Amino acid sequence: MSPHPRDARDAEPDKRTLRREFLLVRNALPEDDVQEAATVLARRALDLTELATASTVAAYVSVGGEPGTGALLDALRARGTRVLLPALLPDNDLDWGAYEGPDSLVDVRRPGRMTLSEPGGERLGRDAVLAADVVLLPGLAVDARGMRLGRGGGSYDRVLARLEAAGAHPALVVLLYDSEVVAHLPHEAHDKAVHAVVTPSGVRRF
């Protein structure tokens, strides 16, 4: 893997700068490395007690150079776990649908955004995530306190706020490459720490 961008504590760059730096490193990864990492990540994640005992998992379909989730989604479904996947709404909030296998996904293209794979079946509503025992969060990095750096769209900030308002307390897990676990990231008052990060080299809990 390529070395991670400078530690965020070096002159405290803002989130936008850090996102750009992490994305540059991630997008430069060879496709073979991305595929290999996806296989290892699935194995690591499936060993998590939280996922082994979960009835419902809210997850997502990885895109581009993101740590791959495809193998993990299929393994969870094969276990009998109910898997929910997000569908992006016009206001950047998330609706949810059940994952019924790769053929159940549809590619959705929106102006000015990357193409996303979303569940093609029934929409279950924004509150469907409240049933999740585990929420797998996309991210670009996480620090030693469990603070996550997202892509900046705010969709998962809304999801986390919805969970908190409802008194729901699922395990929050982020999947990353090893180089994306750093000592310190800037954060704001509304940011929520995750409970664990899974990388190809193992699991770290916070």
Q: Which residues are annotated as a binding site for substrate?
A: 61, 66
Three state DSSP letters for 125-190: CHHHHHHCCEEEECCCEECCCCEEECCCCCHHHHHHHHHHHCCCCCEEEEECCHHHECCCCCCCCC
pTM (2 d.p.): 0.90
55 found inside a domain: yes
The enclosing domain of 112 has a CATH number of 3.40.50.10420
- Number of structural domains the chain divides into: 1
Is the C-alpha dihedral spanning 115, 119, 125, 129 positive or negative? negative
- Give the model confidence (pLDDT) of 139-181 as tens digits: 999 999 999 998 888 899 999 999 999 999 999 999 999 999 9
pLDDT surpasses 70 at 27? yes
Q: What is the mean pLDDT of the chain?
A: 90
Q: Which residues are annotated as a binding site?
A: 15-19, 61, 66, 148-156
**Are 41 and 65 spatial neighbours (Cβ–Cβ below 8 Å)?**
no
68 found inside a domain: yes
**Looking at residue 151, what is its pLDDT?**
84
Give φ, ψ of 127 to 5 degrees.
-80, 0
Q: Which residues are annotated as a binding site for ATP?
A: 15-19, 148-156
CA atoms within 13 A on the CB side of 85: 25
**Looking at residue 155, what is its pLDDT?**
93
136 found inside a domain: yes
9 found inside a domain: no
Q: What is the CB neighbour count within 10 angstroms for residue 80?
A: 7
- Give the model confidence (pLDDT) of 13-26 as tens digits: 688 899 999 999 99
Alpha carbons 51 and 54: distance in angstroms, whole number: 5
Q: What percent of the chain has pLDDT over 70?
A: 93
Q: Which domain holds residue 21?
A: 15-205
Q: What is the CB neighbour count within 10 angstroms for residue 110?
A: 10
- Give the model confidence (pLDDT) of 117-132 as tens digits: 999 999 999 999 999 9
Task: Name the residue type at position 60.
Answer: Y
The region of weakest confidence among 17-31, 54-68, 103-117, 131-145 is 103-117
CA atoms within 13 A on the CB side of 9: 5
59 pLDDT band (50/70/90 cuts)?
A: very high
**Are 203 and 29 spatial neighbours (Cβ–Cβ below 8 Å)?**
no
10 found inside a domain: no
150 found inside a domain: yes
The stretch 134-143 carries a mean pLDDT of 96
**Looking at residue 114, what is its pLDDT?**
76
The stretch 97-106 carries a mean pLDDT of 95
Alpha carbons 195 and 140: distance in angstroms, whole number: 16
**Looking at residue 9, what is its pLDDT?**
44
2 found inside a domain: no
4 found inside a domain: no
Do you know the residue count of the chain?
206
Per DSSP, the chain holds a count of helices (H) and strands (E) of 5, 11
Q: Which residue has the tokens 């909030």?
A: 93
47 pLDDT band (50/70/90 cuts)?
A: very high
Q: What is the DSSP string of 14-31?
A: -HHHHHHHHHHHHHTS-H
